[in-house]
Chain A
Amino acid sequence: MSPKEEIYTRHAAKGGDRGKVLAEIMNAEGKPEVLDDVLVLDVSSANFAGIICASYLAEFGAEVIKIEPSKGDPARQITPFGVTVQGVGIPFMFEGRNKRYMTLDIKNSAEDRKLFAKLAQKAAVVIESFAPGEMDAWGIGYRQLSAANPGLVYIALSAYGQYTDKAKESAKMPDTDVTSQAGSGLPAQMGGTPDEPEPNNWPLRGGMWAGWYISGLSAALGGTVALIHRQNTGQGQMVDVAGMDAYSSMVGMPATIGFTWEKARPRIGVLDFILYPYGHWKCKDGFVAIAAPRDHDFRALLKVLGLWEQEDDWRYSSDRIPDILEQALHLHKIIEEKTILHTADELVAMALNYSKKSARSKWRGGGVPIVMKLMTPEEAMGNKQWQIRKAFQEVEDEKLGKYTISANFVKMSESPPRVKWVSSEIGKDNEYIRKKYLSD
């Protein structure tokens, strides 16, 4: 049976069209693309938030032209440990989705600026990350471009934004991931408890590009809202994304907690501020993540782990909020003494069996203690769930060869995003673009 047939059969059994819908949603090929009427110019420089935003639009079908000087965007060399394939860094390869590449030196060449302005007349979206005011000073900022093309959506990325005195004062400070994370409040919430030795008790950077990816996603979201307004009214606008807002504006908690509590939260290590148990524990062969925060989930977890005698301890049956750290850490240890006795697979099976039983019980409400094996990104790539869902895609670049990316981040029945090709070569599409957009 093909995977598609299998999904159909599995989900059609309960009647209705769900089997058909899910079998059809697996594939993107042949379906229409949402943004096939949208031209995007990405002139961002040394800023992955811009590149990421452009990728999302490209995956939804926009024609995206990455514009860079003939030496290439410095972002090509922003790569872990300096690893490249023929000079192209890993993150740039990862984001090189469905894009066209054109060389223009808008920073130094007046002639190239003219060509850029001409292209921008036909564009729906411009993405840039120069110092606020710099494009404007070159005569190709939002103010000038929108005069010729009122429908233009102009997305600008920077550290402190395009307006306010602070933005002016810090206009020339570039935006990077770690400064965006720090300035917007992520590291302050992550790391060891205050009594741990240095540097374990320091604020800790998120080990992925939380700043740049959040800014890129926010820019794409804001840009798409602007595209909807443009579709309805023909009017464009400016979208201003500041790296120093990224995390705090996305999750909202730092601002409200800083106001209502009138102080900052301390770092509480591996614990959570709201839920317990909600974290990961050592087991025989690695780590498991456990979430059993609701009372009935927690009681179920105690049963599963053979810890039922803890149930009538008031500290844990009625108050597991980790505001008394020692208490929460004590419970952490009690749980670990049990998890360490089993392998991850055993613990997952124990919890699953319990959950199945409680779901079938006529009393329901027996609790759903969730236990999962903690995976590294490399382990996740081998998981059958993601193979069936095509979450990873092997792609081939003409010059750089084959490599794997995560793709198809959302499944849509009518107009899904997709990766059609990857490429990274500087100036690869100069001719194509000149002919298509600059010949008149």
Chain B
Amino acid sequence: MEDYFSYTAKLFNPDEANQKPEALKGIRVLDFSHVIFGPIAARLLADYGAEVIKLELPFYGDLWRPATYWGKYWKHSNPIWHNITKNKYFLSVNLQLKESKELIYKMAEKADVVIENFAPGTADAWKIGYDKISKINPKIIFLSCSTYGQFGPMRYFPGWDLLAQGASGVLTLNGYPDTDIYYKLPDYVGDFVPGNFGALSVLMALYHRKKTGKGQYIDMAQTEGLMRMLFNYTYHSVTKQAIGRTGNADPSMVPASIFKTADDKFLALACATAEQFKNFTSAMNMAQLADDKRFAETLERLKPENAQELTKIATDWVQTKSCADIVKLADERNFPAAEVADDYMIANEEWRRKRGSVILFKDEVYGDLVIAGPSAQLSGTPSRTKWLARPLGYHNRLVLKKFLELCEADIEKLEKKKVIGTFDDRPGLKPPVYYNLSEDPIYNYGKEVKK
């Protein structure tokens, strides 16, 4: 039989991924959402082949377009925005005008999914909510994303990832015991995780619609998404106690923490089972610990006094070894260990590039950019990147001509009435200065362009 890893290398070959079928081909999504929570749900659908049309206001655009880390732009764009909104069609219409609504209604006739994350009730007030859209297209799947949900006394409270972390209890779990400092989970993970839940529920609704022909309304509250990830509630209902903050130590496994190595690197090391613990003790040349009655059984080992003792032993041992030595030992002896990876390591480690979990993407407009690959690799219908984010209104012509069958004269009329528009001079909205849009066949879709 062929070696397993040579079999899987062919099965998942990243070079062939773009030729494989797309699971969501033919699904059309209208993305009214902004910032991260809604857009990430829409992007995940686009990654698997859906046509996602993102709507933004002319000359203003998504609030997050200019929001980059420490104000650092890349080719006049926000580098992290490329990950959040790749693979989408960028249409810019002025929602205040009647003509814009008509365009939206016309698109809704043939759409499968609508995603929005305005404050609850806003989409309905603007007549682009489920009430209106479901009358145009009863089979529509309509995802409303918000921080606290569409109903309940807190529904009108605006929110960000921070507030969802604060309201669910996530934020108070990060930090060291007996201090008054909490840390929020970084990088807006409180938007990304619920965005994934939102995409999951849309996929479920698509599966259901295929069987029954019925569309539906979905109310995804970001706080409830985070709550689904905390067993702290159950712990409290059983023990009447709180797990609280435990610093770097995971109280569910021992040892399980982040340690400092002899070469001043940081290393996570954990033993989830008796078997892993045994492997770890043999790697330390302390096999006797695996027979010690305080440590041999998992539940004994987890008792706070024993856990403390063992964590100290592990801390002392890790201090005598280099990080690379321990990781090598972990590979050989089969216990979990990993160096704490930072941005630079993640961007550059060879195995991630080979796996496709980090990709050097070659984009037509922006050139080379390293972006994250999918968090699940599919052998049959893989997630893929087709293009990065685009300037505001970049796909106006393409969307209106291809999907709404308008002609150039119609579009010029809409431009004149300011129903549709593009970018102004702000970074994050405009194209790179070196890029000549007048020669771009997609921006000028359906028009003659000189190359």
Contact = CB atoms under 8 A, between A and B. Distances in A.
Nearest to B159: A370
B5 A25 contact: no
Given A132-B4, A189-B186, A262-B344, A250 B196 contact: yes
29 contacts: A25-B217, A81-B302, A84-B299, A90-B234, A132-B5, A133-B5, A163-B355, A178-B269, A179-B270, A182-B266, A182-B340, A205-B268, A206-B174, A207-B246, A218-B375, A229-B381, A240-B378, A256-B79, A372-B167, A374-B171, A374-B182, A377-B173, A380-B169, A381-B237, A391-B227, A406-B233, A407-B228, A413-B217, A414-B208
Interface in B326-358: 330-331, 334-348, 350-352, 354-355, 357-358
Contacts of A260: 72, 74, 79, 369-370
B295 to A, nearest CB: 12
Contacts of B204: 34-35, 60, 224, 412, 415, 417
A282 interface: yes
B377 A239 contact: yes
Nearest to A414: B216
Contact of A178 (B149, B234, B270): B270
A280 B172 CA distance: 10
A173 interface: yes
B8 interface: yes
Contact of B334 (A166, A172, A233, A407): A172
Interface in B142-190: 148-154, 157-160, 162-163, 165-176, 179-189
A269 B183 contact: yes
Nearest to B257: A178
Given A16-B124, A208-B170, A414-B205, A220 B200 contact: yes
Contacts of A5: none
B44 interface: yes
A411 B219 contact: yes
Given A207-B174, A389-B149, A415-B205, A376 B268 contact: no
Given A372-B157, A389-B221, A410-B201, A248 B258 contact: no
A256 B273 contact: no
Contacts of B152: 384-386, 388-389
Given A78-B253, A179-B270, A205 B258 contact: yes
B233 A381 contact: yes
A242 B274 contact: no
Contacts of A228: 23-24, 203, 206-207, 210
Contact of B158 (A35, A233, A368): A368
Interface stretch (A114-122, A271-279, A298-306, A427-435): A271-279
Interface string A144-170: 000000000000000111111111111
Interface stretch (B80-88, B98-106, B403-411, B442-450): B80-88
A405 B234 CA distance: 5
Interface stretch (B62-70, B391-399, B431-439): B62-70
Contacts of B158: 355, 368, 370
Nearest to B242: A378
A18 B358 contact: no
Given A77-B298, A173-B334, A240-B378, 14 more contacts: A34-B204, A81-B302, A162-B12, A174-B336, A176-B253, A177-B270, A219-B376, A237-B379, A252-B83, A253-B83, A263-B344, A377-B242, A385-B153, A406-B224
Interface in B291-305: 298-304
B61 interface: no
A200 B376 contact: no
Interface string B49-69: 000000000000001000111
A279 B162 CA distance: 7
B258 A182 contact: yes
> Which of B5, B8, B157, B201 counts the most A-chain CB atoms under 10 A from its CB?
B8
A377 B172 contact: yes
Interface string A79-104: 11111110101110111000000000
A291 B334 CA distance: 44
A183 interface: yes
A185 B80 contact: no
A392 B355 CA distance: 39
Contacts of A217: 193, 196-197, 200
A34 B258 contact: no
B256 interface: yes
Contact of A257 (B69, B215, B244, B373): B69
Given A168-B5, A240-B377, A404-B234, A183 B331 contact: no
Contact of B229 (A213, A249, A372): A213
Contact of B207 (A224, A249, A323, A406): A224
Given A256-B80, A409-B225, A186 B186 contact: yes
A378 B204 CA distance: 31
B152 to A, nearest CB: 4
Nearest to B176: A200
B232 interface: yes
B11 A163 contact: yes
Contacts of A164: 9, 351, 354-355
Contacts of A335: none
Given A187-B340, A237-B381, A264-B342, A374 B355 contact: no
Q: Which 4 A-B pairs have the closest CB atoms?
A: A258-B347, A222-B376, A237-B380, A377-B169
Interface string B1-28: 0001101110110000000010110000
Given A163-B12, A273-B70, A415-B216, A7 B370 contact: no
Contact of A22 (B150, B205, B358, B380): B150
A44 interface: no
A257 B169 contact: no
A237 B67 CA distance: 38
Contacts of B136: none
B230 A377 contact: yes
A408 interface: yes
Interface in A189-227: 189-192, 199-200, 202-210, 213-215, 217-227
Contacts of B162: 272, 278-280, 289, 291
A193 to B, nearest CB: 11
Contacts of B23: 225-226, 228-229, 232
A188 interface: yes
A179 B338 contact: yes
Nearest to B236: A378
Contacts of A137: 4
Contacts of B180: 282
B243 interface: yes
Contacts of A209: 229
A257 B84 CA distance: 13
A25 B219 contact: yes
Contact of A274 (B44, B69, B248, B380): B69
A57 to B, nearest CB: 10
B49 to A, nearest CB: 9
Contact of B69 (A191, A265, A373): A265
A261 interface: yes
A379 interface: yes
B421 interface: no
Nearest to A59: B228
Nearest to B271: A176
A203 to B, nearest CB: 5
